């Protein structure tokens, strides 16, 4: 079975809410009749694959992908005022839960949280996991510039640890985005470094050690974590601040994370396997973003020269185990 862990969906109910003027995100329509979501310094074209489940099923059938883990995508609700963010997050989660229930043969999902409203995030996490049946949430890599390691989010992690929830970190507007406004540098460079920054901060701050039940997943092959983990360990050895809140070198925590395979370079994938093991990689496509590819997801994993068992685990077995599918 092939399960795509990393892909994105805009519920039509969410786009309709934006079009009513409830949001800071403005919506226009392009020449192909696609909604275009405009947020500070960015725009996202919601092509049919982003918003039409029947269309998406046909695409999956053509490529031979059995199932997807649906997640929301940038800009998310974090550009909104706190109350609007909470309301839109509930709307998105209701829509995702409905698809996961009605089309469970092809889809499951992770919830979104209004992280710029910590109190509402706690309530929505409880609702998502207790009432809607989500196994976890997708966290954006920062909350309007606030680090995920900030103590205002610890009550969420405490609850997540108690129920062994999945917490999937996906990038959003990076800190310092002003330097990334040309040549699509924000998604090409900024995204992977913001994921790296979030993961390193969560480890050094002691969050990962304090809440051991959380099952962390990093997008885009961990940003640069497999490449830079040795440097983080040297920081642990060299600087007392890097040892003050953790009892082991950072790489020992990071090897317990999961990493989706949205980096289609075989050399990078091999490095991640050497770092964390084949049982920690989750097939991902980034469909239907322009930079994503279902075909490359499958072909890049197939080209690694792995055993049948390891290939099957990465293509779907690891995700099935992680989410209890």
Residue 175 has pLDDT above 90, yes or no: no
User: What topology is assigned to 3-323 in CATH?
Assistant: TIM Barrel (3.20.20)
The beta strand positions in the chain, using DSSP E, are 3-8, 26-29, 35-39, 42-45, 67-71, 107-109, 111-112, 136-140, 142-143, 146-147, 166-170, 215-218, 258-260, 281-282
- Note the pLDDT of residue 43: 81
pLDDT in tens, 260-305: 999 999 999 999 999 999 999 999 999 999 999 999 999 999 999 9
Hey, how many other C-beta atoms are within 10 angstroms of the C-beta on 47? 17
What is the rounded distance in angstroms from the CA atom of residue 94 to the CA atom of residue 281? 28
**Backbone φ, ψ for residue 170 (5° rounding):** -125, 140
- Note the pLDDT of residue 41: 65
Choose the weakest-confidence range: 14-18, 121-125, 247-251.
14-18
What is the rounded distance in angstroms from the CA atom of residue 68 to the CA atom of residue 106? 6
Choose the weakest-confidence range: 13-17, 134-138, 247-251.
13-17
Residue 39 has pLDDT above 80, yes or no: no
User: In the chain, how long is the greatest CA-to-CA distance?
Assistant: 57
In this structure, the strands spanning 35-39 and 215-218 are: unpaired
42 preceded by a cis bond (ω within 30 of 0)? no
Helix (H, G, I), strand (E, B) or coil at 74: coil
What is the rounded distance in angstroms from the CA atom of residue 70 to the CA atom of residue 113? 14
pLDDT in tens, 309-325: 999 999 999 999 999 99
Per-residue pLDDT band at 242 (split at 50, 70, 90):
very high
Residues 97, 108 contacting (CB under 8 angstroms): no
What is the rounded distance in angstroms from the CA atom of residue 211 to the CA atom of residue 159? 9
Per-residue pLDDT band at 40 (split at 50, 70, 90):
low
Residue 208 has pLDDT above 90, yes or no: yes
Q: Give the tokens for residue 319.
A: 């995700």
- Note the pLDDT of residue 95: 97
- Note the pLDDT of residue 120: 97
pLDDT in tens, 110-165: 999 999 999 999 999 999 999 999 999 999 999 989 999 999 999 999 999 999 99
Q: Give the tokens for residue 196.
A: 């790296």
pLDDT in tens, 59-113: 999 999 999 999 999 878 998 999 999 999 999 999 999 999 999 999 999 999 9
The pTM of this model reads 0.96
Axis crossing angle, helix 53-63 with helix 294-302, rounded to the nearest 10? 30
Q: For residue 204, how far is the Cα from the chain centroid?
A: 21
């Amino acid at each position: 079975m092939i399960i795509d862990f990393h892909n994105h969906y805009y519920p039509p109910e969410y786009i309709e809410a934006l079009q009513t003027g409830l949001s800071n995100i403005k919506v226009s329509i392009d020449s192909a009749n696609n909604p275009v979501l405009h947020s500070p310094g960015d725009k996202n074209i919601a092509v049919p694959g982003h918003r039409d489940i029947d269309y998406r099923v046909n695409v999956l059938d053509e490529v031979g992908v059995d199932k997807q883990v649906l997640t929301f995508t940038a800009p998310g609700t974090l550009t909104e005022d706190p109350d609007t963010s909470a309301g839109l997050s509930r709307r998105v989660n209701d829509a995702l839960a409905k698809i996961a229930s009605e089309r469970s043969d092809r889809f499951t999902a992770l919830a979104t949280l209004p992280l710029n409203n910590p109190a509402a995030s706690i309530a929505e996490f409880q609702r998502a996991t207790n009432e809607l049946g989500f196994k976890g949430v997708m966290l954006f890599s920062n909350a309007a510039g606030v680090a995920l390691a900030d103590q205002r989010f610890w009550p969420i992690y405490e609850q997540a640890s108690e129920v062994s929830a999945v917490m999937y970190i996906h990038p959003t507007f990076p800190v310092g985005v002003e330097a990334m406004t040309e040549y699509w540098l924000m998604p090409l460079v900024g995204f992977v470094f913001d994921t790296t920054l979030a993961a390193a901060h969560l480890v050094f701050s002691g969050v990962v050690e304090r809440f051991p039940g959380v099952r962390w997943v990093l997008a885009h092959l961990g940003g640069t974590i497999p490449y830079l983990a040795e440097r983080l360990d040297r920081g642990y050895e060299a600087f007392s601040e890097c040892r003050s809140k953790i009892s082991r070198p950072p790489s020992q925590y990071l090897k317990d994370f999961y990493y989706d395979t949205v980096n289609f370079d075989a050399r990078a994938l091999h490095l991640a396997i050497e770092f964390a093991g084949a049982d920690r990689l989750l097939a991902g496509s980034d469909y239907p973003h322009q930079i994503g590819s279902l075909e490359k997801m499958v072909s890049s994993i197939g080209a690694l020269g792995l055993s049948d068992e390891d290939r099957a685990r990465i293509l779907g077995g690891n995700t099935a185990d992680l989410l209890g599918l």
